[in-house]
Amino acid sequence: MQTESPDWLRWQKALAVEAERGFVDLVGKQYRFSEFLSLSFGKPPAGLSLEERRRWQEMAANFASYPQMTLAERQDLVAATRMYIHKTFVQAKKEPEDKEPYIPKPKLARTTPIVQSKPAEVYQRIAPTLDQQLAKLPEVGIRRGGYLERLGLYSVRDVLFYYPRDHIDYARQVNIRELQAGETVTIVGRVHRCNCFSSPRNNKLTILELILKDSTGSIKINRFFAGNRYANRGWQEQQKRRYPTDATIAASGLVKENKYGVTLEDPELEILASPGDTIDSLTIGRVVPVYALTEGVSADMVRQAVIAALPCVKQIKDPLPAALRKHYDLAKLTDAIANIHFPPDSDTLAIARHRLVFDEFFYLQLGLLQRQYKAKQIQTSAVLAPTGQLIEKFYNLLPFTLTGAQSRVINDILTDLQKPAPMNRLVQGDVGSGKTVVAVVAILAAIQSGYQAALMAPTEVLAEQHYRKLVGWFNMLHLPVELLTGSTKAAKRRQIHAQLETGELPLLVGTHALIQDPVNFQKLGLVVIDEQHRFGVGQRARLQQKGDAPHVLTMTATPIPRTLALTLHGDLDVSQVDELPPGRQKIHTTVLTAKERSNAYDLISREVAQGRQAYIVLPLVEESEKLDVRAAVEEHQRLQESIFPQFQVGLLHGRMSSADKDAALTQFRDNQMQVIVSTTVIEVGVDVPNATVMLIENAERFGLSQLHQLRGRVGRGAAQSYCLLMSSSKTETAVQRLKVLEQSQDGFFISEMDMRFRGPGEVLGTRQSGLPDLTLASLVEDREVLELAREAAEKAMAKDPTLSRWSLILKELEYRYQRLMGGTILT
């Protein structure tokens, strides 16, 4: 498309910032985000075809309607627009297919040749292969090769696929007068003065001071050298001779402003023969790759190894067919690898990164879909009856009507249970959406078909909560159910083991105790795992191995953003209970400062005076768990004696014995205590409909998803409920995060925002989360690329689920998928 070039870089930046801030229609200096994009697309450049002009008008209209759109509609529009701009303006700048990728010239390392009788020139003439050892490259040598092995880099192939973790763009050359603080730039000027001296305050710190001039102005820049070797007077004089007056210097760095004016922070320097001379440096005047390093391995050492290996990039075969690359506008793999290391400009870098991010997501999704396909080839699971007297009796016992969402999800599950292939379904639902009822129907389907079921929860509190609820229903259905946790007495444990083996016990509820070896089911047909992301992959697998390919139903009350769900659970069928029972009121949420603490205590007093109850939650910081428990004890004593002497104030924390925790919760449920001071042990599973106030101290220490979970402990009855977020932090980010809770009750929106603020690993809150080890891709920034990769993987599986027609893709998948998931995903 030949058109005048619109300011698409500003559009991309606006779209990126809008996505980062949660699609809130940001207000800029002149316009709102939606107004800016609507006006921009309302002025199509000259030279567009009629169809393209219509496309621009349609997009202008879409952004005009942006304020009225739902969150999902806004996300889709922003993602589609970013992709359109990428294809239209960035992808259009791609180099021709037959053009060789840019490869910097290698510089020979000063090392002794490996074979003394052969000079280094001989090695240069012998073209290295992808599997050749790095140490045998003359530019690397044995000594440097040994250092590079510390990074896991042994071969040419290893270093080519060792992508930079970041890039610094020094490609833009500007005049000294044009320097703006915060930019990374390159300047070329003449040396007006050079000085090199030891710091008067620290004789181990040497300062190289240069004043450079060009036709527009002058600038003083400093470089700092720490160590005795630089304090040597001879070394300092050598530096002065290196940068004589009137020598032409190229300098690259980040522009900083101080009280003396602008300067370059820790600049890279190169001496040029003349002002118009070519800059040959690996770091000056170009987009510079930044690699993850380790002790003894310098950045230049890695860069030199990459440059030495880059000529071999032509030997890499691209596994993706040309038709697929063309359909998704992907660069050739050889070009992408060359340009991710040493791109000539930032546009080329964006094209290269897009291809390599697509690859990471594509092979991950292909592996998950293959795993799902192989699981469904198993035909040994129990075929369970979807209807029967037990399920009918249970429906009649319920004092409420199921929501439409509950009925839909139950139908999904019962359809799965009628097949001999094992069900592997994830049920997501916000707090209070009624997931337990859904799970009970699945459990009853197993029991009425003559099979046993197991329900595993991550904590004793949650397991006991499930057990208490199930006992009430199962007693009326004349069915036995038992609880097995780490606190279960030995005699009771032996009795449970015996009843499981004989088949007398149809349902066992418990914690990790369920996966211990003595637990043997006679005929396990269904496994239910609650808050499954809190268990490791191995733990979940061990419970499944207690039966012969049992059906698996996993549940979570922690809404997971779609990008995380696709990455973690791309091999599962997903159902959402996205409808709350009727009558639930919105929880009134307020962020308070320490000065407003008395308002919080007044609200608690008023609610308790009306017969209600309240939670006061203290943060649990892993680094100092004992200190936190002591703080909880002290806070409990202070509240009981000084703030609420007229009420009964209880205490609950994770270091209490199971019996003491159970006793405290029972007293709170029975309204024998009106206020309970607790740590996050009450985050999930505690159900006290009479509790209407949740006060969370130091709320800035919690993630948004965790705060939303805690808030879900109130609002479970008919009365108006309140959540008070007490924060001592005044930072803008902390305030913005907590305001999200004030504005929204939607768990999926809150989890999306939580991931943007804290990243996916923190949102999941556990090292056992099973997050893949992605090198370039970001689950926050690359949402649209993930969606495209998933689509491509689904199309490939639809054509050939065995992938036998694409041998290169299959080979690459076997290597990448194992590496991405550390092998654990294949359990």
Tens digit of each residue's pLDDT (9 = 90 or more) over 765-802: 544 445 666 788 888 788 889 889 999 999 999 999 99
Q: Which of 285, 314, 332 is the last residue of a domain?
A: 285
Domain span holding position 247? 172-285
Give the whole-number percent of the chain exceeding pLDDT 70: 85
CATH code of residue 394:
3.40.50.300
* Structure confidence at residue 478 as a pLDDT band (50, 70, 90): very high
Residue 121 burial (10 A CB sphere; 0-12, 13-18, 19+): exposed
- Asked if residue 594 and residue 571 are part of one domain, the reply reads no
* C-alpha–C-alpha distance, residues 780 and 20, integer Å: 8
Q: Residues with Cβ < 8 Å from 80, sequence gap 6 or more?
A: 784
pLDDT (average), residues 439-446: 94
Model pLDDT, residue 424? 86
Say how far apart CA 467 and CA 305 lie, in whole Å. 60
Mean pLDDT estimate for the chain: 82
Among candidate residues 549, 577, 605, the one where a domain is terminated: 577
- Whether residue 375 lies inside any domain: the answer is no
Same domain assignment for residues 12 and 70: yes
CB 431 within 8 A of CB 747: yes
The answer to whether position 660 is within a domain reads: yes
* pLDDT the model gives residue 323: 94
Alpha helices in 100-232 (DSSP H): 120-125, 141-148, 156-160, 228-231
Q: 628 falls in which pLDDT band (50, 70, 90)?
A: low
Same domain, 496 and 533: yes
Higher pLDDT, 160 or 548: 160
Residue 85 located in a structural domain: yes
Q: Is residue 556 classed as helix, strand or coil in its secondary structure? A: strand
Structure tokens at 162: 């060792």
**What torsion do the CA atoms of 13, 17, 23, 29 make, to the nearest 10 degrees?**
-90
Stretch 384-399: mean pLDDT: 87
Is the pLDDT assigned to residue 211 strictly greater than 90? Answer: yes
Least confident of 290-299, 348-357, 594-603, 626-635: 626-635
Q: How confident is the model at residue 358 (pLDDT cuts 50, 70, 90)?
A: very high
**Confidence grade of residue 564 (pLDDT, cut at 50, 70, 90):** confident
Residue 826 lies in a domain: no
Q: With a cut of 70, say whether residue 262 has pLDDT above it.
A: yes
How many residues are recorded in the chain? 827
Q: Which residue has the tokens 């979940």?
A: 540
- Please tell me whether residues 79 and 29 are part of one structural domain: yes
Stretch 290-302: mean pLDDT: 84
Using 50, 70 and 90 to split pLDDT, how confident is the model at 195? very high
Instruction: Give the tokens for residue 824.
Output: 């654990």
* pLDDT greater than 60 at residue 120: no
**Is 669 found in the same domain as 563?**
no
Looking at per-residue pLDDT, the higher value among 769 and 329 belongs to 329
Please tell me whether residues 281 and 199 are part of one structural domain.
yes
Point out which residues pair with 554 in neighbouring strands.
426, 529
Residues 636 and 504 in one domain: no
Rg of the chain in Å (alpha carbons): 32
Please say if the pLDDT value at position 110 is more than 50.
no
Confidence of residue 68 (pLDDT cuts 50, 70, 90): confident
Q: Is the pLDDT of residue 99 over 80?
A: no
Which pLDDT does position 114 carry in this prediction? 27
How many other C-beta atoms can be found within 10 angstroms of the C-beta atom of residue 499? 16
- Per-residue pLDDT of 127-154, as tens digits, reads 688 988 888 888 888 888 888 988 889 9
Tokens found for residue 743: 């504005």
Residue 749 CB-half CA count within 13 A: 19
Between 105 and 584, where is the model more confident?
584
Q: Choose one of 31, 66, 93: the last residue of a domain.
A: 93
Written as one string, the DSSP assignment of 12-51 is: HHHHHHHHHTTS---B-SSSBHHHHHHHHHTSPPTT--HH
Nearest to 571 by CA among 367, 312, 430: 367
Q: DSSP characters for 795-807?
A: HHHHH-TT-TT-H
Query: Are both 547 and 659 inside the same structural domain?
Result: no
pLDDT band of residue 279 (cuts 50, 70, 90) is: low
Reported as a pLDDT band with limits 50, 70 and 90, residue 540 is: low
CATH number reported for the structural domain that contains residue 179 in this entry: 2.40.50.140
* 681 pLDDT tier (thresholds 50, 70, 90): confident
Lowest-pLDDT choice from 55-69, 85-99, 671-685: 85-99
On whether residue 566 sits in a domain, the answer given is yes
133 in Cβ contact with 249 (< 8 Å): no
User: What does the pLDDT read at residue 794?
Assistant: 92
Predicted TM-score of the model (pTM): 0.67
78 lies in the same domain as 176: no
Pairing of strands 649-652, 524-530: unpaired
Residues 221/226/228/233 CA torsion (nearest 10 deg): 0
Q: What does the pLDDT average to over 253-263? A: 87
Position with higher pLDDT, 268 vs 341: 341
Residue 109 has a pLDDT of 37
Return the pLDDT at 646: 93
Overall domain count for the chain = 4
Classify residue 253: in a domain, yes or no. yes
pLDDT of residue 622: 43
Q: Are residues 649 and 565 in the same domain?
A: no
Same-domain check for residues 52 and 26: yes
Contacts of 288 (CB under 8 A, 6+ apart): 167, 168, 169, 170, 252, 282
643 and 598 together in one domain: yes
In a domain, 364, yes or no: no
Domain-embedded: residue 445: yes
Q: What is the pLDDT of residue 121?
A: 37
Q: Which of 232-246, 341-355, 366-380, 480-494 is predicted least confidently?
A: 366-380
Q: How confident is the model at residue 346 (pLDDT cuts 50, 70, 90)?
A: confident
